[in-house]
Amino acid sequence: MKFWMKRLWGLSFVLAAATSVQAEWREARSPHFQVYGSTSEKSLRDFTVKLERFDAVLRLLTGTSAPSSPIPLRVYLVGDMFQVQELMGSPRDNVAGFYEASPYGPVAVALRNSSDLAGVIQNQILYHEYAHHLMLQYGMAAYPSWYLEGFAEFVGFTRFRDDGQVEVGLPANSRGYDLSHNWATARDLLIKPQINEAALYAEGWLLVHYLYNTPARRGQLERYLNALNSGAGHEEAAKQFGDLNVLNRELHAYYTRNRFPIIQFSPAGLPSPAIEVRTLTPAEAASLQSEVLLRQYLTKERVERLASDLERIGRQYPDDPHVIRLTAAAELDAGEDRIVLAEPRVDKLLAIQPEDPHALLLKGRVLLARLAKAKSHDAAAWAAARAWIVRASRPTADDPLILYYYYASFLQEGVTPTPAAQKALAFTLLPQDSHLRLAVVRDLARRADYDDAIFVLKPLAYSWHDSTEEIRKLLAELQERAKDQPASKAAPTAS
């Protein structure tokens, strides 16, 4: 097995986009990214080139040769932490950037200039999150929390020099206090399923750095990850590192020595991708904050406010298809009470763009929502509504939103999704979405395919951010069910 080794509702953001003293909002498109920023064309282009080169560095570092995902990461660049919070569906204090994946696609929000944050190098938070993004996309394995965060920290501290050289593995100076004051033993880091966050990030970074740069330890990390993914427990897998007391002493000595080798990449081996830059239309710029929010998982109350915000923008741009599409989607996301508002917008959108895949999808969603509200048992009506989604999928076979709603249409009807719908669940296209991953797990469990369900669930169970008591309970139950096969085919009861 190959392993990856080596949100708010204020109007300030929209108003800033509309005011004449701000630069126009632009979009840069590259093979792996769509980057949005209120900055000059040159700055946005340069930023996007760095992201593409960082992507290339990660692929070289990990030996990833798999084809690229057809779904780009959308990156939104803002000026300060207040604007970061305005773009979070669930705002939190002191957040300088975030990442989220949903069926709408993955999105990241970052500061245009993060170098003024204490102990943080330029774009470190974005690089950290992109490392997670790629690990989940290409490293189909379960990684323990210390390695997930440690590897992301290791590559997050990357510097692009003026001469084109890229340096990976710079000292994580922002983690110095935790390493000095919150040291956890190597045994605790490797064996305890839950450990304090400070040690997880700081010592995770240090252990990855140490293992990557210590020839005597070469191969141990891969054998350890292989053992975990072959069914060994944390303690059994940790035996690949030998005496953990010795490992702890060596790790602490590596830290106190305070000399950290870096990995360098020459610009000659990195791509110079084509970057297309365009200026957003006024309607696109006015609705940009709303679009970022729509791409996140929101509470019902929050999505209702979002729909109302988009309705106000729509009164300024009544015939703009982009705004109409966003507004209709938000109204459908808000629930059955807004179907009556969404339907005429969808019909208007279809009149403007009759073959647009998302317009066709929205029509299917309207009809399905009406059937679900009426508690219809008319199979022909459900099939006719679903046909709109099938039609939407024809021009674009890899849109996770369309594939997700095709699968969900069967659940709305109250019937078991067909095998074709199961394959269309888009997990392989968007494994970063934990909600989508859980949907896959439950679908596999309903089909008594427990081994595959366990394989898909383990990354969530090991994740610091996503692991919950419910997920750990579900994993344990699936493992028990797997032991009982083929005698028992009953699906687990955990919800």
Q: Which residue has the tokens 């929000």?
A: 109
Mean pLDDT across the stretch 459-473?
79
How many whole angstroms separate alpha carbon 401 and alpha carbon 104?
A: 5
Q: What is the pLDDT of residues 68-78, one digit of tens each?
A: 899 999 999 99
Predicted confidence (pLDDT) per residue in 292-302, tens digit: 999 999 999 99
- At residue 426, the pLDDT reads 59
Residue 140's pLDDT is what?
72
- Which residues lie below 8 Å from residue 164, measured CB to CB, with a gap of 6+? 266, 267, 270
Does the structure show a pLDDT above 90 at 120? no
3-state secondary structure of 489: coil
- Residue 13, pLDDT above cutoff 90: no
Kindly tell me if the per-residue pLDDT of 40 is higher than 90. Answer: yes
pLDDT at 194: 72
Residue 187 has a pLDDT of 96
pLDDT at 397: 81
Q: What pLDDT shows up at residue 20?
A: 36
Check residue 5 and give its pLDDT.
56
* Residues 407, 430: Cα–Cα separation, whole Å: 14
Residue 177 pLDDT > 60? yes
With a cut of 90, say whether residue 167 has pLDDT above it: yes
133-138 long-range contacts, Cβ below 8 Å, gap at least 24?
133/73, 133/99, 133/101, 133/106, 133/108, 133/432, 134/4, 134/55, 134/58, 134/59, 134/62, 134/64, 135/4, 136/431, 136/432, 136/459, 137/69, 137/431, 137/432, 138/4, 138/62, 138/64, 138/66
pLDDT tens, residue by residue, 80-103: 889 999 999 887 777 889 999 999
Name the CATH topology of 12-267. Neutral Protease; domain 2 (1.10.390)
pLDDT for residue 108 is more than 60: yes
pLDDT at 488: 46
| pLDDT greater than 70 at residue 116 | no
pLDDT tens per residue across span 472-482: 899 999 999 99
Average of per-residue pLDDT across 365-394 = 97
Does the pLDDT value for residue 414 go beyond 90? Answer: yes
Give the model's pLDDT for residue 471.
87
**Rounded percentage of the chain residues whose pLDDT exceeds 90:** 67
Q: 75-101 in b/e burial notation, b at 16+ Cβ within 10 A?
A: bbbbbebebbbbbbbebeeeebbbbbb
pLDDT computed for residue 114 by the predictor: 60
3-class secondary structure, 412: helix
Confidence at residue 3, expressed as pLDDT on a 0 to 100 scale: 57
**pTM summary value:** 0.89
pLDDT surpassing 50 at residue 269: yes
Q: What integer is the mean pLDDT of 315-330?
A: 98
More confident call, 16 vs 197 = 197
Between CA 454 and CA 469 the distance in angstroms is: 16
In 141-228 the beta strands, taken as DSSP E runs, fall at 158-160, 166-168
Residue 387 has pLDDT above 80, yes or no: yes
pLDDT at position 56: 96
Nearest 5°: the CA angle 192, 193, 197 is 90
Asked if residue 241 has pLDDT above 80, the reply is yes
Q: Does pLDDT of 487 surpass 60? A: no
pLDDT score at 4: 56
Top pLDDT among 9 and 399 is at 399
Banded model confidence at residue 311, pLDDT cuts 50, 70, 90? very high
Please state the domain extents for the chain: 12-267
**Contact of 34 with 288, CB cutoff 8 Å:** no
Average pLDDT, the chain: 89
Least confident range of 176-185, 408-417, 467-476, 480-489? 480-489
